[in-house]
Structure 1
Amino acid sequence: MHGPASPGWLLVALCAATGAYCLLRMRSSDDEQRRAAGGEALMGFGMAVMAVPAAAFTPPEWAWGAYTAVFGAAALHALWAARSGVHHLHHLVGASAMVYMAVVMAAAPAASPGAGGHVHGGAGSPLLTGVLLLYFAGYVLVSGVRLLPAGAAAGGTVAWSDRPELARACRLSMGIGMLAMLLTM
């Protein structure tokens, strides 16, 4: 992504940490939780790699095609999974947004050495970017509200891989990350 280096590295750390926790969630005894965690880990690590500041590393031209293929496949998987529940539609929107950003970055002009590694100028469709920004802003707000305590939790010990509030916090952080990435377009 083409933004300032310090916030870029913070976004990389946030997304990588989220991806790592999602890998931990894949150890859950609940099949549906494991499947969702796998997709969320892919998104977290994919967002982390895509958010590396251009001043630190400029990916080769073929990398954007690889992003498009991987997240295109993830979008198709989410579309197929949406047959069993509408909650998979969010994964479809997220993977599609990653495809969109990869296509835009592939079409963006190469960074000039005097620009500090940043790409300048508008890129992508303002309408599509705006729709995605509105969607993820709404998602972040709803996810934030869902983190508010609803009362006393059920008794007993819950494994780290099965903590619903941590799964919601991961989804919230990825939504915030997606907003940050879309804002740099």
Structure 2
Amino acid sequence: MHGPTMSGWLLVALCGVTSAYCLLRMRSGPREERGVARGEALMGLGMAVMAVPAAVFAPPRWSGAVYVVVFGAAALRALWWARAGAGGPHHSTGAGSSHHVHHLIGSAAMVYMAVAMAAPGGGHTGHGAGAQAGGVPLLTGALLVYYAVYVLWVGARLLPVPAAASASGGTVSWGSRPELALACRLSMALGMLTMLLTL
């Protein structure tokens, strides 16, 4: 039981810190990045709450419905902006429709995990060491492959990013650093991989 509890707390810490940084980006980052940061903050917070070990806090039965409503709405919003394509917000920062598709997949994965946890025998990180696997293996496998590829892709993009500096030669605020935004996305994708593996 100690292993799943420890991994659950590590996920809570990782996703909580990531969510807090995304909130900082939302307040101090470039205007066109704030909507992206808002979505990432919601995702990080949801993942942190979902990863809390059951030995500490057993979620009430209705918590799955809350996840479905919140992340279902986030998925619909991401779908709306993904369909808008380049005309949607954040198109000038490279966070266009592909980033909205990623948010759509992430929100749908959160809905999927919430439904799988609510099903009889469902379980996830820290929610019972002997819990049986939940969800549809083929869908879980597809999400695992997607997030594994995404982790490699973001990791490759993160390596060559130089320290950011403003055009005037000064330093850039913490909310505007592109390498930290990429690290934030990488950590959330790793957290999602971990949660899907323990589903």
Same fold (TM over 0.5): yes
Q: Is the 1:79–1:88 contact (alpha carbons within 8 Å) kept by the matching residues of 2?
A: yes
Report the count of equivalent residues: 179
Q: Is the 2:122–2:133 contact (alpha carbons within 8 Å) kept by the matching residues of 1?
A: no
Shift of 1:151: 5.3
For the residues of structure 2 that align with 1:106 and 1:163, how far apart are their CA atoms?
Answer: 38
Equivalences for residues 31-180 of structure 1 within 5 A: 31-82=31-82, 83=84, 84=88, 85-86=96-97, 87-109=99-121, 117-150=128-161, 154=165, 155-180=169-194
RMSD: 1.9
Question: Bigger shift: 57-66 or 146-155?
Answer: 146-155
For the residues of structure 1 that align with 2:16 and 2:132, how far apart are their CA atoms?
Answer: 28
Runs of at least 5 residues in structure 2 that lack an aligned partner in the other structure? 89-95
For the residues of structure 2 that align with 1:169 and 1:150, how far apart are their CA atoms?
Answer: 11
Superposed structure 1 runs of 4+ greater than 6 Å apart: none
Shift of 1:117: 3.6
Shift of 1:119: 4.9
Structure 1 residues 51, 152: CA separation in 2 closer, same or farther (over 3 Å shift)?
closer
Shift of 1:122: 2.2
Shift of 1:101: 0.2
Q: Secondary structure at the match of 2:43?
A: helix
Structure 1 residues 92, 6: CA separation in 2 closer, same or farther (over 3 Å shift)?
same
Shift of 1:123: 1.0
Runs of at least 5 residues in structure 1 that lack an aligned partner in the other structure? none
Shift of 1:109: 3.4
Shift of 1:121: 1.7
1:20 aligns with 2:20: yes
